[in-house]
Amino acid sequence: MNRWTTLGTLGSLSLVLFMAGILDGCRPNKQPDSLTGNVTEAPSAASDSSGHAVTIESGDRSVEISEAVEQWPTGAPAEVPRYPYGTIRKIIRSETPEGNSWDMAIDGLPEHAIREYEAMLKASGFKTTSLIVPAQDGERGSVTGEKGLVTVVLIGSGSSANLSIIQKF
């Protein structure tokens, strides 16, 4: 994947996440989120099961924004290791003729969650690049993993992160 394709993909993902935030803010009677489970001992990311789902379809493209999420997105490529930290707050699924993507907002991360997920990606055969900086409230930075037609991008700051899985056809 060349740099311009990566930047275009990240720009598209940013737009989808921005739209999800706007839709979330427009929802009436929003209840405050609360953490579920013990963050440091969870075998896989927990989920926040309160919420709604919205699906937007346009021609051969669709986007589903879900707040009532499972512990891991349904249909995500099997070669991507499950993210074992924190609580998944939102999943945005996108389907296009070019491929599928799953974007997750995750809260409640332990201190070394970014570095440890990079090791999990490498152990699963992904070629990774990263920029991780230690901070007072946990790590900040990003990890990108590529394996065949699958790209995984984790961007975290302190105790929250966004994890994107992009599968091209």
DSSP state of 31: P
CA quadruple 17, 23, 25, 31: dihedral sign: negative
- Which domains are seen in the chain, by residue range? 3-26+40-168 (3.40.1000)
Q: Which pLDDT band, with edges at 50, 70 and 90, does 21 fall under?
A: low
45-50: long-range pairs with CB below 8 Å, 24+: 45/71, 45/72, 45/82, 45/83, 45/84, 45/85, 45/86, 45/87, 45/88, 45/104, 45/106, 46/71, 46/86, 46/87, 46/88, 47/71, 47/87, 47/88, 48/87, 48/88, 48/89
pLDDT at 74: 86
27-36 tens-digit pLDDT: 444 444 433 3
pLDDT in tens, 57-97: 888 887 888 775 668 888 999 999 999 999 999 999 999 99
pLDDT, one tens digit per residue, over 105-122 is 999 998 889 999 999 999
